[in-house]
Amino acid sequence: MRRLLLSGFLAFATVAGLSAQKAGYDPVKAPFGHGEDSVKCRMNLSLMSTSAKAENYKEALTPWNAVYENCPASSKNIYIYGPRIFKSLYASETDAAKKQQYFDKIMEIFDTRLKYFSDDNKGTVLAYKTYDYMELMGDKADSKVIYQWLGEAINEMKSDMEPKDAYSYYMVASLTQFLNDPGKKDQYITDYFTVTGYVDEAISKANAANDKANADYLGLVKEGIVKAFVSSGAGDCKTLTEYYADKVEPNKENKAFLTEVVNALGSVGCSDTEIYFSAAEYLHKLEPSAESAIGLANKSLRDKDYDTAIKYYHEGAQLESDKNKASDYMMQLAGIFSNQRNFAKSRQAAYDALEFNPNNGEAYILIAQLYAASAQNIFPEAEKRGLVFCAAVDKLQKAKSVDPSVAAKANGLINTYSGYFMDTETAFMMGIKAGESIFIPGWIGETTTVRLK
């Protein structure tokens, strides 16, 4: 009886001591506690870290509980190792009630971290909380919960979101809600433009910092988001036109909104509508930009005002800060001239594209195709036309050398064009030798190296 009373007294004293410490705990001035409590806190932190680093989570549990309850502001390691400890316990537990307790504890740990370490990026902590939620819940994860938490995280971090794939998970959650409830289409569309705007800004920051790895990864993140948007049915031309139909005129002084409209409609191939042109014209009046200039170029093309279209394409390329995009604009112009069989102007536009991006292999491939398409006009004599294909192959070789990504396409055309080379016998009769230089007349006006088949 005496031992029982003594045991009870000690237990009461321990609880009372903990309660007293909690009541007087100062996370700012004394995060480790005072006196003996401080010593115990540091000792338990050491024991916890040693065991957790060794992934001996069962042994780490007791000292972790001690520091979490008594000195929760003493170290971020409490909140780094805590989820690992309880996820390990969760994985090995078979009792549903206990698994739920472990799950609840993990969620609580993230919230407690924000309480005691408010200097942490709230968005990052919320993202990792969401990731653990998704991992533990599996197929039972609620897209509404994911949407809420990651939405709060992204709203907090915007273009500085870490981890970066949070953008993707958030948009998947938004898409899931739209697919389950078509009434949430506007929400999904709004989320799409907001998030892609943040991702674009993040890519620009990464490029400015010469961080190619992050820029490339963010590019893949955006590509996935865009593909999902286009295939969702929410973002087709008809839907977006209806969505923006009554919004452009009231927002004709809103630069950010008009930019969104132009980019959105352009992204789904809807750049030949009145809404697109109206937004582009208003935007260009407010502040000339690459987007608005290309919008006006498209309008001019529709109206068959080619001189004005050329002017706006050049203006758009000059205003575009992204040299690759500027190069693409000139390639669009080159394509237009090519369709009109205006080979000289098409080649000039392709060379203009190379001024912005010297590694644009597609520009050299287009020039090669222009040469091949005009062989009959250059040489009425069929036997000489193989020389034009030699000049075309020169451009294809150049395309491969500056842009390995087009090698397969270039090689395919080289194989095709090689079949049109002058044969050895014909060359002999004309006094032409393999390897010698020869001038190609007409609009091509270049010297090439003779190749024979």
pLDDT in tens, 11-53: 333 333 333 345 578 888 889 998 999 999 999 999 999 999 9
Q: State mean pLDDT over 49-65.
A: 96
Q: Are the beta carbons of 313 and 325 closer than 8 angstroms?
A: no
Give backbone dihedrals phi and psi of 379, rounded to 5 degrees, phi first. Answer: -125, 105
pLDDT tens digit sequence for 349-404: 999 999 999 999 999 999 999 999 999 999 988 889 999 999 999 999 999 999 99
pLDDT band at 116 (very low <50, low <70, confident <90, very high): very high
Q: Is the peptide bond before 380 cis (omega within 30 degrees of 0)?
A: no
pLDDT above 90 covers what percent of the chain?
72
What is the pLDDT, as a whole number, of residue 441? 96
Q: Are the beta carbons of 273 and 295 closer than 8 angstroms?
A: no
What is the pLDDT, as a whole number, of residue 411? 96
Q: Are the beta carbons of 269 and 298 closer than 8 angstroms?
A: no
pLDDT tens digit sequence for 201-224: 999 999 999 999 999 999 999 989
The tokens describing 190, both together, are: 């709004």
State how far the Cα of 203 lies from the Cα of 342, in Å rounded to an integer. 37
Beta bridge partners of 438: 448
* DSSP-assigned letter for residue 432: -
State how far the Cα of 18 lies from the Cα of 122, in Å rounded to an integer. 29
Residue that the structure tokens 């194989």 belong to: 415
Q: State mean pLDDT over 261-286.
A: 86
Residue that the structure tokens 């939620």 belong to: 133
What is the pLDDT, as a whole number, of residue 119? 86
Give backbone dihedrals phi and psi of 429, rounded to 5 degrees, phi first. Answer: -65, -25
Single-letter amino acid, residue 26: D
Residue 233 falls in which region: left (phi positive, over 0), alpha (psi -120 to 50) or beta: left
More confident residue, 260 or 354: 354
- The secondary structure element, H or E, covering residue 448 is strand 446-449
Single-letter amino acid, residue 425: E
State how far the Cα of 409 lies from the Cα of 401, in Å rounded to an integer. 13
Lowest-confidence segment of 101-115, 158-172, 211-225, 226-240 by average pLDDT: 226-240
Check the CA dihedral 336-340-345-350 and report its sign. Answer: positive
Q: What is the mean pLDDT of the chain?
A: 90
The tokens describing 47, both together, are: 């024991």
Residue that the structure tokens 């007294």 belong to: 9
What's the N-to-C CA distance of the chain in angstroms?
109
What is the pLDDT, as a whole number, of residue 22? 53
Number of H helices, E strands in the chain: 22, 2
